[in-house]
Chains A and B, each alone.
Chain A
Amino acid sequence: MDFNDTPEEARFRKEARAWLEANAPKAEELEGLDGIARAKLWQKRKFDAGWACIRWPKEYGGRGASAIEQVIWNQEESKFDVPMGVFAIGQGMAAPTLMTWGNDEHKRKYLPRLASGEDIWCQLFSEPAGGSDLAALRTRSVKEGDEWVINGQKIWTSGAHYSDYGILVTRSDPNVPKHKGLTYFFLDMKSPGVEVRPIKQISGQSNFNEVYFTNVRIPDSQRLGAVGQGWQVSITTLMNERASIGGGGMGVGFDVAFKLASKLNIDDRPAIEDKAVRAKLADWYVQEAGLKYTGYRTLTALSKGETPGPENSIGKAVGAPKTQDMASFCMDLMDMAGAIDDPEIAELSGLVQASFMGSPGGRIAGGTDEIMLNILAERVLGLPQDVRVDKGIPFSEVPTGTKG
């Protein structure tokens, strides 16, 4: 056992670090640009030098790198304060779907533009009546000549308002069981009839949108997979979603709580001296360390050329509720002042309070806690699926509730 790179890995890391040191954008280059412009500048620079989407084949703008090289690159890039984020869905979810289900023309036309950061894509999956039960979606697609006409509503679409393209799963046939009547497309987000409305979250921010479709027309050439095969295509996208949405590790973690407990007092003594505080901190330390070393085991598997499986759902299942619990605990450490979220006067500029209000989203987005547990139970432990009362029934006859 050791934590060292192999000689080839070390060589790759050195090369990546050298390029990053020479090319990571300086603060003055980014001045005056908004978040998207900054991200595009950095993405283009990587693309031009062959450091964008390095896992992809070279012909699509990648580098043909291995999985472990991708990890090494991510580790090195994360050491620099570079603008990222807006491309995650396009590069992490839409692109793998195009690679699996698209034709040559799709791949040649869209993948290099995704790699270079020219295009931003969003994912139009969830609906008011279809979240964890995604296949219950109702947005209709009806074929008219060489086009499809789309009507319906999507929800929880990150970045819809600044995206150029979207991946979309629709119901093309309501008269067959729900998984069999779906068809998958991609579309130009500037198409007539697409309306994007931001959702205001409990955190006060608006990171997501509702997207309404009114007689939106999509060419049949932008269909991925066969008519009725949309569920299988969606699975490709979703398998990649788990890889691109992290462990919910943003916000409050052990280091923040430890510092806070060292600084604030309980009964005139530092809170860190309190045995109950120590016990809680220890549990969170153990969880974070467990995730870190589980990651090391995954890296070892990658380094040997193995493919990690659904066991990676652990990261989100543990990380997201932990963030929420830790934020709540840290506010307790502040006692009565824990309620203050005014960044001007709140402890840690209100980071803890913001994390508390944002954390419920982490437990829901990209698969709820409960879905993560189902994945582990079914795909790792091999336990049976739940009985599905809608199995084999035409979608149009499946009972629906009034909520949603």
Chain B
Amino acid sequence: MNFEFSEDQNLLREQAQGFLAEHCPPSAVRKVLEGKAPFDKELWRKVAELGWTATTIPEEYGGLGLGYLELCVIAEELGRAVAPIPFSSSVYLATEAILMAGTRAQKEKWLPKLATGEAIGTFALAEGPGRPSPKSLKTSLAKGRVRGTKVPVADGDVANVAVVVTKTRAGDKASWQLVDLDQRNVKCDVISTLDPSRSHASVKFRSADCEPLGAEGEGWALTQKLLDRAAILFAWEQVGGAQAALEQAKEYALGRYAFGRPIASYQAIKHKLAHAYIKNTLARSNCYYGAWALNADAADLPVAAATARVGATQAYYYASKENIQTHGGMGFTWEFDCQFHYRRSKLLSVNLGSEGTWQDKLITAVEQKNAA
């Protein structure tokens, strides 16, 4: 049994932690949260220089050709730091989608730029409230051009390229289109979301140029596969954030006195934090299995992904809300950083489909596994 990261991977974790402590302190998160800049461009440049954006891209396309365990390590640290950069959209979604379904020409065109961070990618699925399905999609293809509105699209305002899910002509299936966003027929409007440290847009495609990514009608199956893979990386970000929120609550509880003693000595607080520790530990262990499944491209990946995703979503939500609660009134103030995790935890939880969506997917995956 060797259910642990390697020494090299742990070294990478230490380096990432040190780097982010220096270049992505809470003040950097706050700057994006409160300011006009859509993301921390300096941090993005440095992260790209370190090669993080190139982690899983093969060397022939300018990447590092490393495995997914390394990317999981980076994801956890970015989550811990609440990094205000378009990493998840560009790396876990757009890069992965092109790696999964791109032609050689498409890969040659986009992957080297995505690897260096010169280009930012995103994945456009949602069309307003409600759980999307092939039948609910309105964005369509007419004469080889995309029409429709996707909202919200994470980093849609800063991305150069998007993987857009469109319905097929018959309307019962979906396809993927690769859309260069730097064109006149695409209009991006920044929208306000509950986590301004990550920018989002409403993206209108007005007969936009595009090219198919993957086979026509395969878009929904590809979407499910992409979401499963991304769910594991999102889950690692969530686990990193949940751990940071627990540590923040713990530090505050140890220093805050009430009725003559630290509030950390009251069972009401201790048990709350112990519950957070339990949720975080179980979520992390499920993420380990997810990391293994992702790296090995295991048949059990759908089960592993949904398990990691549901556990991490619940853990981060719990840790972030109870972190505010532990801080009392101070946690509810704008000046305190507790809001970062509260915002990010809910954003990450809906970004890739709700908790309910993933609970449902988990049982479906278990049913399929049992039937196989």
Q: Is A296 an interface residue (CB 8 A)?
A: yes
Assembled-state Cα–Cα distance A279/B356 (Å): 7
Contact with A along B1-32 (1 / 0, CB 8 A): 11111000000000000000000000000000
Q: Is the CB of B359 within 8 A of A278?
A: yes
Interface centre among A5, A279, A293 (most CB of B within 10 A): A293
B36 shortest CB reach to chain A, Å: 39
Q: Which residues of chain B are near A137, meaning CB under 8 Å?
A: none
Q: Are A297 and B285 in contact (CB under 8 A)?
A: yes
Given contacts A278-B360, A290-B281, A311-B281, A300 and B271 within 8 Å (CB-CB):
no
* B367 to chain A: closest residue by CB: A272
Q: Mark A362-404, 1 if CB is under 8 A from B, else 0.
A: 0000000010111011101111111100000000000000000
Within 8 A of B (CB), among A270-294: 272, 275, 278-279, 281-283, 285-287, 289-294
Complex-state Cα separation, A278 to B357, whole angstroms: 10
User: Do A317 and B288 touch across chains, with their CB atoms under 8 A apart?
Assistant: no
Cβ A282 vs Cβ B310 within 8 A: yes
Given contacts A281-B363, A317-B278, contact A1 B3 (CB under 8 A): yes
Q: Which of B112-120, B149-157, B257-265 forms part of the interface with chain A?
A: B257-265
Interface residues of B in 207-228 (CB under 8 A from A): none
The answer to whether A272 and B264 have CB atoms under 8 Å apart is no
Most buried by A among B262, B289, B295: B289
Roughly how many angstroms separate A4 CA and B253 CA in the complex, as a whole number? 42
A131 to chain B, nearest CB (A): 16
Least CB separation from A293: chain B residue: B285
Q: Which one of B3, B273, B310 contacts A381 once the chains associate, using CB atoms below 8 Å? A: B273
Output the least CB separation between A326 and chain B (Å): 15
Contacting pair A383 B3 (CB below 8 A)? no
Q: Which residues from A are CB-within-8-Å of B264?
A: 383-384
> B191: CB under 8 A from chain A?
no
Q: For window 312-349 of chain B, which residues contact chain A by CB distance below 8 Å?
A: 314
| Residue pair B281, A383 in contact (C-beta under 8 Å) | no
- A387/B274 contact (C-beta < 8 A), A286-B286, A293-B3, A294-B285 known: no
Number of interface residues of B (CB under 8 A): 46
Given A293-B288, A370-B267, A373-B275: A287 and B1 interface contact (C-beta under 8 Å): no
Considering only CB atoms, which chain A residue lies closest to B3 in the complex?
A: A296
The reply to whether A297 and B4 form a contact with Cβ atoms under 8 Å apart is yes
Rounded to whole angstroms, the CA-CA distance of A76 and B268 in the bound complex is 42
CB neighbours of B292 from chain A (8 A): 1-2
The reply on B282 being an interface residue by CB < 8 A is yes
In the complex, what's the smallest C-beta–C-beta distance from A397 to chain B, in angstroms? 23
A372 / chain B contacts, CB cutoff of 8 Å: 274
B275 surroundings in chain A (CB, below 8 A) = 373
Q: Is A299 at the interface (CB under 8 A from chain B)?
A: yes
Q: Which residues of A contact B85 (CB under 8 A)?
A: none
Q: A287-B282, A290-B283, A377-B270 are in contact. Are A387 and B307 (CB under 8 A)?
A: no
Instruction: Assess A380 versus B277: contact at CB under 8 Å? Given A275-B360, A297-B3.
Output: yes
Q: Is the CB of B4 within 8 A of A1?
A: yes
Q: Is there a chain A Cβ closer than 8 Å to B69's Cβ?
A: yes
> B265–A385 contact, CB under 8 A?
yes
Does A208 make an interface contact (CB < 8 A)? no
- Say whether, besides A296-B1, A299-B1, A318-B282, A285 and B265 are in contact (CB < 8 Å): no
* In the complex, chain A residues whose CB is within 8 Å of the CB of B2: 1-4, 300, 303
Could you tell me if B281 and A314 are in contact, using CB atoms closer than 8 angstroms? yes
Is the CB of A258 closer than 8 A to any CB of chain B? yes
Partner of B278, one of A281, A303, A376: A376
* Nearest-neighbor residue (CB-CB) of B5 within chain A: A1
Complexed CA–CA distance, A384 and B311 (Å): 28
Task: Please tell me if B362 contacts chain A, counting CB pairs below 8 Å.
Answer: yes
Minimum distance in angstroms from A282 CB to a CB of chain B: 4
A3 nearest CB neighbor, chain B only: B1
A311: which B residues are within 8 A, CB to CB?
Answer: 281
A293 touching B286, Cβ below 8 Å: yes
B306–A282 touching, CB < 8 Å = yes
Q: Measured between alpha carbons, how far is A377 from B254 in the docked complex, in Å?
A: 12
| In the bound complex, CA of A40 to CA of B87 (Å) | 61
Contact of A290 among B250, B254, B286 (CB under 8 A): B286
B291 within 8 A of A: yes
In the bound complex, do residue A377 and residue B3 qualify as a contact, i.e. CB atoms below 8 Å apart? no
Tell whether B366 is near chain A: CB-to-CB under 8 Å. yes
Contact partner, B4, options A285, A300, A381, Cβ 8 Å: A300
Do A384 and B262 have beta carbons less than 8 Å apart? yes
Provide the residues of chain A in CB contact with B250, threshold 8 Å.
381-383
Contact of B356 among A275, A303, A378, A383 (CB under 8 A): A275
A272 to B368, CA, bound (A): 13
Kindly list chain A residues whose C-beta atoms are within 8 Å of the C-beta of B270: 373-374, 377-378, 381, 383
CB under 8 Å from chain B, chain A span 329-382 = 370, 372-374, 376-378, 380-382
* Whole-angstrom distance between the Cβ of B90 and the nearest chain A Cβ: 26
Q: Whose C-beta in chain B lies nearest to the C-beta of A289?
A: B307
Give Cα A318–Cα B266 distance, bound, in whole angstroms.
21
How many whole Å from B322's CB to the nearest CB in chain A? 13
Contact B1 A314 (CB under 8 A): no
When C-beta atoms are compared, the residue in chain B nearest to A318 turns out to be: B278
Contacts of A318 in B (CB 8 A): 278, 282
Q: With a CB–CB cut-off of 8 A, which chain B residues contact A289?
A: 285-286, 289, 307, 311
Given A283-B359, A377-B270, A377-B271, residue A383 in contact with residue B286 (CB < 8 A):
no
Whether B5 contacts A282 by the Cβ 8 Å rule is no
| A387 and B282 contact, CB distance less than 8 A | no
> How many Å from the CB of A296 to the closest CB on chain B?
4
CA distance A256 to B75 in the complex (A): 36
Residues of chain B with a CB closer than 8 A to A293's CB? 3, 285-286, 288-289
Other 13 A-B pairs with CB < 8 A, given A296-B285, A373-B274, A384-B254? A1-B4, A275-B356, A281-B363, A282-B358, A282-B363, A283-B310, A285-B362, A286-B311, A286-B314, A286-B362, A289-B307, A296-B1, A299-B3
Q: 6 shortest A-B CB distances, which residue pairs?
A: A290-B282, A282-B359, A377-B270, A293-B285, A296-B3, A373-B274
- Name A's B-contacting residues (CB within 8 A): 1-5, 9, 68, 258, 272, 275, 278-279, 281-283, 285-287, 289-294, 296-297, 299-300, 303, 311, 314, 317-318, 370, 372-374, 376-378, 380-387
Q: Can you sample 12 A-B contacts with CB below 8 Å?
A: A1-B69, A1-B291, A1-B292, A1-B295, A2-B2, A286-B311, A287-B282, A290-B282, A290-B283, A300-B2, A372-B274, A373-B267
